[in-house]
Every structure is written in structure tokens, then in C-alpha cells.
Structure 1
Amino acid sequence: MKIAIVKNNTEESTNVARKLREMLAKENIEITTSQPNIIISVGGDGTLLSAFHRYAHLLDKVRFIGVHTGHLGFYTDWRQYNLEELVDSLVNDNGEYIQYPLLDIEIIYKNKQKNKHFLALNESIVKFTDGTLVGDVYIKEEYFERFRGDGLCISTPTGSTGYNKSIGGAVLHPRLEALQLTEIASLNNRIFRTLSSPMVIAPDEWIKIEPIDTSCFTLTIDQLASSETDVDYIKFQIAKERIRFAQYQHTHFWDRVEDAFLGAKFNNEN
């Protein structure tokens, strides 16, 4: 077994990562940055997103584990106080995993520039750089609406609890292989009209956005941002690839939601 450790720069994460390396070394488990079998993220969800993008080219060969040192983590099942259990699970690893869908993003350009392709774990957001985004929205090649507003967010089920939720999107269970399209401050009046509601798209369908003004707009892929010009359209669909998490200790999704947004268990104890 080969393990890669990705951490953020906080003192707590640095200490946890050092302790984890020492414990793994005692078990003769190799730590590497090249061709790992398991990737351990030490930090929060942002750190795990960074690890995902760093090793996205190895998704069919790797599993992820999140060690949580921040305030909130949807992808992190372990804490520094149960590192011994984690190392014991790695020693007795049997290859089990749970997998979640990803978002496939393809940018098609007008000027025959080479098209771009990305994967996102959480979401992708389209925003005009300066002013209102105006774009035609297609669902599986069928014209749906002309959107005017601050932007559009396309999220995965696991990403539905992030930015998507903050702008009024629904929370989807990650076993639902569906995309969600959520508007950001849409412009609606007697002249301009959009659906003004989140849309859940079936796994065999896709979303296509054709920006009307292609001078410059921003496309985010998780925490990464790219300025784009001369774009014909952007296509979003469920990716063929999946992200896999080692299933040693995996918190039930709705327990995560309850703990993150309601804090019911904590409040009941106090």
C-alpha cells in the first residue's frame, strides 16, 4: 500500500500530518506523492478538494480519506483523536469503498481554440465578469430559457450542501446521480422571465449554457477560477468517473447534514 498525505498549512493540520506519518512508518506503510493507492487529506473540505484535483487523473486507482481539523467537513470522517483506529484500518484494508458522482465540464470555443475539459467534485459556477450574465440554457439540446442574472450554479449531489444550498438549492443525497441547476439572483419582471427555481437534471441528460456576450466571463470549478472568452457553449453532465472514499468509517449523509446545519445532537447534549 502506498499513501499520499495532502494537508493545509495550519499548525494543527501540520501536527496531525506529522503524527500520522510517524504512525504509518511504524507499520511499514509507504508514504509517497507518486502513484498512491490511498490519499489522506488533513484539513477541511477545501483541503480534500485540493487533493481531489491534484490526483483527478488517478480516480480509477485511488481512494480518499479525510481527516478533519477544521470547523465543518462533509468529506472528512476522521479526527486526530482516532488516528490509531485509522492506521489500524489501513493495516487491515480490504479495498472497500463508497463512491460519489462527479461533474463533467466541457468548454467549446468559437475560434477553433482547443476545447477544455474539467471534473468537479462540488460545483461549477458561470458568472459574467462585469455586469449581468445573459445566456441561453439548454437541457439535452432542447432550448429551455434565456437567463439574465448574476450567474448559474451547477452542482453535484455532494456539492448540493455547499454554495448551492446557500443560494436556495435543494440538498440531494449523493446516491442520486443527478445534476442541479440553481440560479444566482435572476432578473425577473414583466419583460424578462426565468424559472426562478432549482432544477434537478436526470443522469442521462445534460445542461448546455450558451453565453450571449462572450467577451469575458468567469467559470469556477470547485475552488478554481478561470476567465474565459470567445466561448460557444459550456456543457455540464454527470461524469463517467467517480470519486471513491475508503469505507472504514463513513458517516451517514443525513447525519452529516444534521450535524452541520442543525446541530441537533450537540444541542440535545446541552
Structure 2
Amino acid sequence: MTVTKGYENRIVQALRGTEDRAIAKWEADGWQLVSRDQGTLRTGLTFRRSRLKRRLPAAAALAFLLFVAIGGLTLGLIFGDDENTTAPPTDATKASSPGEAVTPAAPSAPAPSEATWEETKDAHLTFGETARFRSTAGNNDIPLEITVESPVSFTPSQAATVFDARAALGGREGSLHETTVYFNVTIRNLSTSEAFSPDFVFSDVAETGADDQVSEVVEGDVVGMTGWPQEVAPGGSFTLKDGYSVKDATAIEYTLDIDGLAGRSFYFSR
């Protein structure tokens, strides 16, 4: 994100065919579309919004809370002395003899809730571990769990679609390298009310022996990042296979970016 006088700017990469959803999502959060740079697989969308406008709602909310606090204090001073604050004796007090200790009941353990749910602080995980992330794209606040399994080797056929993962705009035909693998990637939506749209979920690999020679492979049920559904329903989950062709997958590291530039990156390795 860049900042100019009075404005902040953001460039978002949207998969082809999802541009309208991406634009609607960011405009709902107060961003204005400025331009688009269309590639074969992805379209770069440039947004901006006023920095001043972002501060106005917060300032208004603060002023309102201050007004309520002052009003409550004033009423308390006026009427507080008329209230009888002496509580009547309880049955437990009556039943207790002088000098007898009364042991209070132990509080029950609080039920798990979204309030106690915490994000994963460490971005580097091993395959099979689960990363926790709270998506705040648009106006949503959605707790997610993301799991990436160990790479699985497979042999693509001649009918496979192969893209050069290092092409600047994407969509350029790539080559198959010595090793081709896919990763099972699962996203679980823990929200009870909000659907999660995975428009801004992207992946990459590193530690391949030749990181400048990497191809994305799509064939059959190996669908890659373009295989995400329109949304993951509240309480639901979705798993897809993300394929890459690399020189060597012995020490391969898989990167998953959530919420694009506004979110976080998690790195999975052995």
C-alpha cells in the first residue's frame, strides 16, 4: 500500500473472472477503483481512498462515547444518593454462624468462543500444521484455519495445462521440469454467520533448486488457485490440489498469501 497526500492507494491482484466481486468487496470498504491492468490469469486492480474519511467515523464514535460517559456521570451525581445500596441479607448469610467461613462456589470454565480464538503468530509452519488467521477483507471479520499437506509427486499427461509461474503478467506457457507435485490446501471458515470469499488467496513455492524455473500445472483434480469456489460458507471448509513443476522438491517451501497485500503470508515446509 502506498500513501499520497490525502489518499492511500492499494493494488490488488484478482483472478480472471472474479474482478467484479473483488471490486464490489473493496468498494464496500470505502475504496474507489482507479485503474485495472488485465493479464491472462490475473488482473491488477488499483484502488484509493481518502485518509480523512477513514478517520471521521472513528472520531464521531469517540465523541459519542464521551458524550454518553459525561451524561451517565452527571445522572449518577444527581440521583446516586437517593438509591438504597444496602443489599438485604441472603439465605446463605443467615444460615452461617458467626466466625464460620463460607466458601464461594468455584466459577465454571468459560465456553470456547471467537473471543478466545487467537491467530497464529509464527508464519513458518511444517506441512500438516494448521495456521489460524482472521480475514478482514471488505467489512468482514472471519476466523479461518488453513492447512497445507506435504507435497505429493505425480506425472502430468500431455494434456496438462502448464503456465510459467515467473511470468510477470501470468498466462505464459511454461515447461515441465524434473519434479511435479501437488499440495492439498484446506481452508476452514469458523465464522457462524459470514461466508469467506477466497478471491485474494495466492500461492508460490521456493527452495526448489532453481526458483526462477517454476511452472504451475493444472490437470484433472489438480486445479490450482483458480479452483477456489466463489465462497466458503459459514462453518464450512474446502480443499483443493495446487500443482507445481520444479527442479527439485526435496526441500520445497510452499507459501500461501491470505487477503492479498492487506493480509499475511504463511510458509509451510518439512
Question: In proportion to residue count, which structure has more strand?
Answer: 1
Task: Please tell me the TM-score bracket, short chain as reference.
Answer: under 0.3
Q: TM-score, normalised by structure 2?
A: 0.28
Larger Rg: 2
